[in-house]
Every structure is written in C-alpha cells, then in structure tokens.
Structure 1
Amino acid sequence: MRLLIIWISLLMTPACWALPALQVTEAAPGVFVHVSEHHWPDRKNHGEIANIGFIVGDDCVAIIDSGGSPQQGLALRKAVKNATPKPVCYVINTHVHPDHIYGNRAFKEKGVRFVGHYKLARAMATRAPHYLGKADELLDIRVSPENIIPPDIQVKQTLKLNLGNRELVLTAHPSAHTDNDLSVYDKNTDTLWLADLLFLEHIPVIDGSIRGWLKEMERLEKNHYKLVIPGHGRLVKDWPASLQPQKAYLQRMASEIRTMIKQGKTLEYAVAHVGLSEKNNWQLFEQFHRKNVTIAFAELEWED
C-alpha cells in the first residue's frame, strides 16, 4: 500500500505534467524559430498559430513573442533551456494579438524586462477584458490577467538592446497590421523579425490601417535582408520578392474599395464583391477577408 501511495504521489508531481520543449529551428546562428501551421484559432490548437522564438547573445536571451497559450510559453521556455544556459533578459511582444502574448507569464521572473511598442500597454488594457472572457470558450485555455503583461520598456521610434556582442534594433511602426507593431532586427545575422507585418500563405489580417500598412511595405521593400521572419508563414530568404503577394492583395483591395466608394456603393456591397479574385491565393480567406474589407472600407471612406 505504501508503494502505491508513493507511486500516486509521483504521478501528481509537476515533473510528470511537464510539457515537451517547443520545437524550434536555428534559422541563423543564435536565432531560433518555431514555425506554426496556418489554422483558425480554436479549441484544438489553443491559439498556438504564430511564429515565435528567441535570439541568443553572449550574455542573455531575448524572447520574440511568447506564444498563443500559457502552455506554449512554458514549452518555449523549455526550448530556451535546451538551447542555452544563458538567462532570458527580455521578452519582446511584437503586438497585442493573443497568439503572440499569452505565454508571457512563463517568463515573468527577476531580471526579465518586457518590451513593446509604446501603444501596446493601452491596447492590452483595452482588449484584456474581451481576451480573458473568450479564452476558455474559444481556445479551451485558462488565461488570467497575469498572462497579459504590459511592457516595462516602451519603444516610440527605435531602441537598441544588447544581448552581449549581439545588438538588436527594435522599430515601432506606424499603424499597419495593428497600431502597435514592433519589428526586431538582428545585426549579427542580417535577420529582420517582421512578425505580423508580413503574412505568407495565411491571408494578411488588418487590425490597424491599410494605408499605413501599404506605406510601411513601400519603405521596407527598399531594404535587403538575408533572412526575414514573418508572423505567419515560411521563413524568407528572397526578400523583397516574398513581400509582393501581400502587397498585391492589399493594393487590390484598396483600389477596388476606392472605386466603389466613388460609385456610391455601400459597405455591404463592398464586402460581397471586393477582392474575390484573391480567394485562391490565400489560406483562411473565408475567415478573414470580409473583416479586412470592412475595416479598410471604414478607413478609406474618410480619406481626403
């Protein structure tokens, strides 16, 4: 009987509940990425749908987005420990969406600073009630206010972080995918972690400004990078060619909406007709396209 009790006790220890380490690939020296599949966030995938990972310097590690669930955050932390004995010093959230921030709590400990766009804290505070209320219902995960951690360090334009012989340049972008987009550039490997400013295969999702996003793409495509990491999709080694499908989708949508506005067409008409030629070019088109048209129409309707 005593052996049975001991055996049951061992089964109930946290070690037996330990998640496996998140699968990551070293895409460039010291740059580790978990590339996710394209899914609608639901109770099967628990919202774990974004590309996330970390960058290792001589002194410490920077997390780039913590994952779509508290469990994925823990799995990412284990992946870091498997890759390096160096401590985590920064958690960089590229924007407010749940698939990028729900793992934050896994890294909340002494010495870790959270970093984000200067508008991120406001976006988190505004959306937290909705996010927290829907996490269980939609994603089958338990999320508390402690999982949504606002930045200790806010980026207004650019900010340099040194991980030890490894400088990261963080850029706060104008409103585009969201109004709180942040990118991370690693000088050592000429890698741009662009997050959700770039979608491949997965249809782009507008939650900010279509005009702003188009302007940011025009600026970004003038530069050349050895590696670009999107928020959704394969890793990119052919920049800026890989940007063109997203650019074409947003340009086509903006052009067609502007034409319909001039013709006096309604929002409902636009939602039913804009951008349908792009349907076969993108995964999750049915889930996101109509919302994109709605957001873009509301913005373009009031442009000069």
Structure 2
Amino acid sequence: MRAALRLAAVTATLFALASGGVVAQPAPMSAPMTERITAPSEPPRVDMARLDLGLRARALADGVYVIEGANADFSPANGCNIINTGFIVTDAGVVVVNTGPSRRYGEQQRALIERTTGQPVVQVVHLNLHPDYFLGNQAYADLPRRATEATRAGMAREAAAYETNLYRLCGDWMKGTQALLPDAGPATSLDAAASAGVLRIGGRELLLQELRGHTDSDLVLIDRRSGVAFIGGLAFADRIPTTPHARIDDWLASLTTLAATLKAADARVIVPSHGPVRADTSALFQTRDYLRWLDHRLRTSARNGLELAEVLKLPVPAPYKDWAAVQTEYLRNVVHLFPGHEQAVLGAAR
C-alpha cells in the first residue's frame, strides 16, 4: 500500500469518523468571531498594468491567515487568482498552505507573508495536485515543499498541460512560471513528516487527513490550536465544483468523513480553496447536494439516450444557476463526467 494511503489510515485513528449518513455540523462559533469570519471580504484590487495581484492577508485566528482569491473562474481580470491560500505562524517560522497559480502570485504571496508576520517562511504544504495549489512554487525554491506521494505524482503528470492551459487563459500573469514540484523523498514527503497524522512544528500541531474523490489525494489540514481547517477542494462555497479528476462516489463518502473529522477536531473556521470562508460546514452541504444532483442528472440523461449537446442544453436549477463559475464549470462538469455514464449504459446493454 502506498505511503500516502498509510497516512490516511493512520490519521483516521485520530477521529471518531462517521461511516455514513447525514453530514453533521460542528458546534456554532461565538457571535463576535462568527461575525468577523463571515463578514464579506473585499476582493483583491488587481492592477493589470503593474501585474499586481493586490493580495491581502486576513486574520482568522491568532497566527492563522487566509489570502482570499476571487470566487470566479480563471481570467486576466482577476489575475487568474481564484484560490484561497493560507499561512500559519509558528515559533519556528511560517507554514504556507498552497502557493497559487503563478510565479508572480508566489512571489507576492511570500512578500506579503513576511511583511505581515516579520518571520521567515520555513515550509510549504500542498493540499492537492491542481495548478493553483503549486504553480507559485518558484518563489519557495529554497524551502521544503511537502505533499503526499499521490499528489506529487499527479502534479508531475499534469504539469506541462497546466502550464499550457494557464498561459492560454491568463496571458502575461503567467510570465516566467514553470512548474516546480514538491520535493521528492522521505525527508520532505508529508507521508513521512507527519507522525500519526500530525505535523508538529514550532509549537503548532497541524492535523492532516488524506481523503479522495475531488482528486486522488485530497489533503485536509487543521490547526489544532485555533480550530481553523483548510479543506482544499473537497468543498466549494457558493461555487460550482471543479471535476477534471473527480470520482463522485468517493467524493461523497469523503464529505461524510470530513464532516465527522471537523466535528471531532472542534474546527471552528472552514477555509475552502474556492469561495468564502465559513464559520460552519455549510460548504460541505452545498457541495454534497450539488454532486448528488449532478450525478442524478447525468445518470438519468444517459439512461434516456440523451447526447452530450442535449444534456448541456438542460437548464441548471436554483441555487446552482446563481453560483460562481456556473457558465464555465458546469459545462466542464458535464464534459468530464457524462461520457462515463454513457459508457456504463452501453456496457449494461451488451
């Protein structure tokens, strides 16, 4: 069994995980903190002329910050910055959670972190293989960059395509960007660095849990001291999920497990990689309900003999039609997933 899977198995012993059923919500946060976390944040002020992403750090708890991206699809207008990255201050320095979609993002992110904290960055953690999780790595070439073995392998497999696609979508924002993978080998692999699912650094304990479904390896990171959880791409808030590597059944099972983990860890702030930060688990409910609806639509359409073009013409109901990136991501969802349902129907008919 891969070391990445061993991490998931060991981590499971930290929590009383659910085996199924309804997603549970953790206890509500206190009113003042809830208001601070859920207050609408001002979007980054992108300066296209200067290629300045306008990154800002927002404190979620003592020593824990988020850098929020646009809740949208990649575009030059937002600098192709659509991801929420984060950083955690420890007594040994700063841990960065994901490095953004470009070299320029990584450089501006690192400068912002050092201005905000007055401390050096000491390592980077990547939560999955998607391009906006690691294409800022050139700014951290001198530091350990950690990921699970499965995530690193996926990045290596997809890196060339990511570079091509984001240059096409983002133009000048991608100048100088070349994929720099997480470090290889046991000294820097998360699978070896975490003891019983906990990465200990500078007085902080970062709980790690590897799930799957959105990708082959979806890592969740929870700062035990503050209760802030960085949940990566497992849940999207007010946004259509991305599905290029998705397996819906696994994803739904992981959402149930994740909800139990968050409750057991007393997570009080939920940071999805895409969409607003939440003081509850509503993003998990949103994503679960959308995936169930999408899977039913595609499965039913295939059984009824619809073709891809016909499925794409079907109306998207509320609330999904009002979510961010619906015009682009829903189309991609159908293109990614419908052929599998068609093949299943054809196979059953033989």
**TM-score of the two chains, using structure 1 as the length reference:** 0.83
Give me the whole-angstrom Cα distance separating, in 2, the residues matched to 1:21 and 1:270: 39
Is 1:121 matched with 2:156? no
Structure 1 stretches of 4+ moved >6 Å = 17-21
In the alignment, is the contact (CA less than 8 A) between 1:67 and 1:101 conserved in 2? yes
Give me the whole-angstrom Cα distance separating, in 1, the residues matched to 2:170 and 2:252: 31
Give me the whole-angstrom Cα distance separating, in 1, the residues matched to 2:101 and 2:60: 21
Q: CA RMSD in A?
A: 2.6
Give me the whole-angstrom Cα distance separating, in 1, the residues matched to 2:255 and 2:51: 41
Paired residues for 1:42-121 under 5 Å: 42-109=75-142, 112-121=143-152
**Residue identity matched to 1:122:** A
Is 1:131 matched with 2:162? yes
In the alignment, is the contact (CA less than 8 A) between 1:229 and 1:236 conserved in 2? yes
Aligned partner of residue 189 in structure 2, secondary structure: strand
Give me the whole-angstrom Cα distance separating, in 2, the residues matched to 1:70 and 1:95: 18
Aligned partner of residue 127 in structure 2, secondary structure: coil
In the alignment, is the contact (CA less than 8 A) between 1:93 and 1:114 conserved in 2? yes
Match of 1:284 in 2: 325
The one-character-per-residue Cα deviations of 1:231-263 (angstroms, maximum 9, x if unpaired) are 111111122x34212211111111222233333
Aligned partner of residue 198 in structure 1, secondary structure: coil
Q: Which has the higher strand share?
A: 1
Paired residues for 1:151-170 under 5 Å: 151-152=183-184, 153-155=188-190, 159-170=197-208
How far 1:281 sits from its partner (Å)? 3.4
- Structure 1 residues 138 and 129: alpha-carbon distance in aligned structure 2, compared to 1, 3 A threshold: same
The one-character-per-residue Cα deviations of 1:182-216 (angstroms, maximum 9, x if unpaired) are 21111111121002212112211112211111111
Which runs of no fewer than 5 residues in structure 1 stay unpaired? 1-16
- Percent identity reads 25
In the alignment, is the contact (CA less than 8 A) between 2:135 and 2:177 conserved in 1? no
Is 1:171 matched with 2:209? yes
How far 1:138 sits from its partner (Å)? 2.1
Match of 1:6 in 2: none
How far 1:92 sits from its partner (Å)? 0.9
Aligned partner of residue 78 in structure 2, secondary structure: coil
Match of 1:180 in 2: 217
The one-character-per-residue Cα deviations of 1:42-87 (angstroms, maximum 9, x if unpaired) are 2233321110120111112110011122111111111221232333
**Residue identity matched to 2:148:** H
Give me the whole-angstrom Cα distance separating, in 2, the residues matched to 1:268 and 1:278: 23
Is 1:228 matched with 2:274? no
Structure 1, 19-28 or 57-66: larger mean CA deviation: 19-28
In the alignment, is the contact (CA less than 8 A) between 1:92 and 1:116 conserved in 2? yes
- Structure 1 residues 136 and 255: alpha-carbon distance in aligned structure 2, compared to 1, 3 A threshold: closer
Counting matched residue pairs gives 283
Match of 2:22 in 1: none
**Residue identity matched to 1:149:** L
In the alignment, is the contact (CA less than 8 A) between 1:54 and 1:62 conserved in 2? yes
Relative contact order higher in (CA < 8 Å, ≥ 6 apart): 2
> Which entry has the higher C-alpha Rg, 1 or 2?
1
In the alignment, is the contact (CA less than 8 A) between 1:199 and 1:246 conserved in 2? yes
